[in-house]
Every structure is written in C-alpha cells, then in structure tokens.
Structure 1
Amino acid sequence: MSEAMISLLTQAFGETLMMVGLSGLISCLFGIPLGVLLHNTKAGELWANPTLNHILGISVNIGRSVPFIILLVAIIPLTRIIVGSSIGTLAATVPLTIAAIPFVARLIEGALMEVPSGLVEAANAMGATPLQIICKVCLPEALPGIINSITITLVTLVNYSAMAGAVGGGGLGDVGIRYGFHRFEPQILIITVIVLIALVQVIQMLGDYLVNKVDHR
C-alpha cells in the first residue's frame, strides 16, 4: 500500500472518530435528559404527566422510525442552515446527532426502569425532592445501564457514519465506497471494514470495562 493511501486512511479514521465522538456527545447531552423525562412523566412516577409523556413518546418513536439513509438526505436543508454545508465531516454530525437522540432517550428510559422502586420510595419518604431523587438515587443506581446505553449508541454511530460516507460525509465509509467500490480496489474496502470492526470492538470493550467498574451489584 502506498504512503498516500495510508495517509488517506489515517485521515478518514480521524474523520470517523470526529463524527462519532461529536455526535455521540451532543446526542447524550440531549438524549439523557429526554430519557429521564420519558421515564419520570409516566403515570405513577415522580413527574407524572401522561399527556406530556404521550407527546414525548410519539416524538421519539417518529425519530427512531425514519431510516438513517433517508434522514440523511431529508434534512440536508437543515444541515446547511446549521453548519453552512451539506457535505463533509462536520455536516454529517447533524443527521447523526438527530438520529441518535431518540435512540439514546429510549435506552436511558430502559436503564431507569431497572432501578428498584423501593429505593425511590425510601428517598421520597425521607423528604427528598423529585430532582434530588433523580440525581442522587436514580441516575447513580442506573449508571451501569446508562454506560451500556452510551456504548450501544457509539457502536450504532460507527455504523451510521459509514453510511454518511456514501453521501459525502467523509470518514472510512467514504474511502471504502470511493476507492474500494467505485475504483475497484477490494483491498481498500477490506481494510476499511477491518478498521471499522476493530473500532467497534474497542468501544465495546471499553464500555464493558466501565460497566464492570461501576456495577456493584
């Protein structure tokens, strides 16, 4: 393999890390609070509000039901407004983030559902406010599930980032398609697949390690 191709793959790997890292961070910043709202606005929960919960649930389900490749194309005007372009690594983070937020929210909701109700009732009986119960009881107790949810999200974003490369998003997906497929260089395609697999394995291993560190059950 030539030095130029090694340089290209290195740059593409960096672009993939940027897409996954940035979209993962932003989606967690919005998705975790949304997941907390989804769980705690259910009937019988701390902020019980069935109407709001129904609206949030429908919104999240709509976001999760749109195939990513369609979302990628459909929000091109919004992407141009936000970052000034519809192509490139930074532009690809917009649809990646929008696709990931509802995904994170549902995973966080599921993690919070695993918190024993007895802990919440005990904290409530001691006079803790709903916000205190969420921040000091529910989230710490659900931390292993939350970390696992973030890990799943990052792995999914790696897959989505490869699809973003198909429409000018950059990264390993773009290199694999342009050089491996269109230019009939199968070795490049194989290398990009191997690197993506390795990246997923590293993310999963790190996530599993952190889960084991914080899980005291």
Structure 2
Amino acid sequence: MAELIVPALLETLYMVFFSTIFSLLLGLPLGVLLVVTEKNNIWEKLQLNRILNGIINILRSFPFIILMILLFPLSKIIVGKTIGTTATIVPLSIAAAPFVARIIEGSLKEVDKGIIESSLAMGASVTEIIFKVLIPESMPSLILGITTTIINLVGYSAMAGAIGGGGLGDVAIRYGLYRFQTDVMIISVAIIIVLVQGIQFLGNRLSLNINKK
C-alpha cells in the first residue's frame, strides 16, 4: 500500500506548494488593489475597483471542478497537457487567486486608519504605505488567511483527483471507491486530515509569534 500512498502524498504536496505560490502571486496584488483603490483610500480608482470586484466575484462563483474543466485549454498552453499533477496546478492557482484576494483585502482593512493617515502626513508614498505600513501591520492576519488558503488547496487537490489530477484524491477515488479498497480510502482521508491539522497548527503558531513581535 505504501507504493500507492507515498507517491500520492508527494503529488499532493507538490500541487499544493506550487499552487499556493502562484495563487499568492496572482491574489496578493489583486487584494492590495481592492483596498487602495476603494473610495476615500490612498489611491482612489473607483472604476478599477468595480472591475476588479466583478472579476473576482465571477471567478469565485465557479465550482472548482467546472473551473478546472474550463481551464483545460489554458493548462494545455502552459504545461503542454491537461491531465496530471503539473497540469492541475494551473486551475488550482487560478481558483485560489480570488479567494486569496479577498483574504488580503480583509486583512489590510483591519489596519488602523490612524496609522495610514499619519504615514500620509509624513509624506509617505502609496508604495511605501503598502509595503511599510499595510502589509507589515496586517501580517498576523495575513498568515492566518494564507493558512486557510493552503487548507482549501488541499481540498481542491483532492477533488482534482476525480478528473485525473493525481494525488491522494486520485488514489482514494480509483482504489478506494472504484475498486472497493476501503483501507486505501480510509488511509488517504486520514493523511489529508493530518495534513490539514498540521498546516493549521503551523499557521496559528507563526501568526502568534509574529503578533508577539
């Protein structure tokens, strides 16, 4: 059984790791723009804000399985195939990006307005406020949000196994469901649970440590 579970676990970790990185690269700028371009903020651009909100809301409306199928052509263009662990990273990243954007938006909005106003009064630019005030001040909340994103990606990666995405979800479905190997199903689910618990524990500890500092 180890020859099934171990490679599947490594595939899941591979998918989650890279999709987390790419979703942050996509979602972080979107989240920042959502905050700084809103009304009465440091870079007010209401039209841009409405457009970004619309795009994010549309992307969040798609169930992941449907979005993954719709993005098959994009996966083909980027990685040369539509099925497999690497190909799954593309829809995973795009599916998680709007979720990341909303998390970033919520975290940045928690920053005390007084700190931002003081920075503006001292002549800080928009870029300086973003990177020296907003992001550092909201870091504990951001860490918790990113932790939630990673956990969601673990769940998404398991669902991706239903359509050839690989990983623990694929093993659980192919062997546990279709071949009635209940032990494989139970072990796969147990590993996913342990993985999620471990990620949440590390995220909580890291957020707490940063908050203390």
TM-score by length of 2: 0.98
CA-to-partner distance for each residue in 1:16-37, whole Å, 9 max, x for gaps? 0000000001111121111000
Report deviation, 1:145.
1.0
Q: 1:56 aligns with which of 29, 52, 56?
A: 52
Residue among 108, 111, 132 paired with 1:112: 108
Partner of 1:194: 190
| CA deviation map 1:34-66 (0-9, x unaligned) | 100011100111110110000000000011110
Q: Does 2:210 correspond to 1:209?
A: no
CA distance in 2, matches of 1:49, 1:70: 32
**Deviant stretches of 4+, over 6 Å:** none
Distance in 2 (CA, whole Å) between partners of 1:184 and 1:110 is: 44
1:170 and 2:166 are equivalent in the alignment: yes
Q: Deviation at 1:75?
A: 1.3
Name the SS of the counterpart of 2:189 in structure 1.
Answer: helix
Query: 1:1-217 residue pairs with structure 2 within 5 A?
Result: 5-216=1-212
Q: 1:60 is aligned with what amino acid?
A: I
Please state how far the C-alpha of 1:210 moved relative to its aligned partner.
0.5
Q: Which runs of 5+ in 2 are unaligned?
A: none
Deviation, 1:73, is 1.0
Q: What secondary structure is seen at the aligned counterpart in 2 of 1:137?
A: helix
CA deviation profile, 1:66-103 (whole Å, cap 9, x unmatched): 00011111111111111111111000101100101110
Cα distance in 1 between the residues matched to 2:97 and 2:74: 16
Counting aligned pairs with the same residue, the percent is 53
The number of residue pairs the alignment matches comes to 213
Separation of aligned partners in 2, 1:7 and 1:213? 38
Q: What is the CA–CA distance in structure 2 between the aligned matches of 1:56 and 1:216, rounded to whole Å?
A: 34
SS of match in other structure, 2:212: coil
Name the SS for the 1:64 alignment partner: helix
2:43 partner letter: W
Query: What letter corresponds to residue 132 of structure 1 in structure 2?
Result: E
Question: How big is the alpha-carbon RMSD for the aligned residues of Structure 1 and Structure 2?
Answer: 0.9
Partner Cα distance (1:70, 1:185) in 2: 28
Question: Please, what TM-score do these two structures have when normalized by structure 1?
Answer: 0.97
Structure 2 residue matching 1:36: 3-state secondary structure = helix
